[in-house]
Amino acid sequence: MAFIGSHNRFNEFREEFLKDTGLVNVEDNIDLYIQYVTARFADQNHRLLVNISNELQELYKVLKKV
pTM check: above 0.75:
no
Residue 28 pLDDT: 94
* Span 23-63, pLDDT tens digits: 999 999 999 999 999 999 899 899 999 999 999 999 999 99
**Residues 57/64, Cβ–Cβ less than 8 Å:** no
Distance CA 36, CA 31 (A): 9
Task: Give pLDDT, residue 9.
Answer: 74
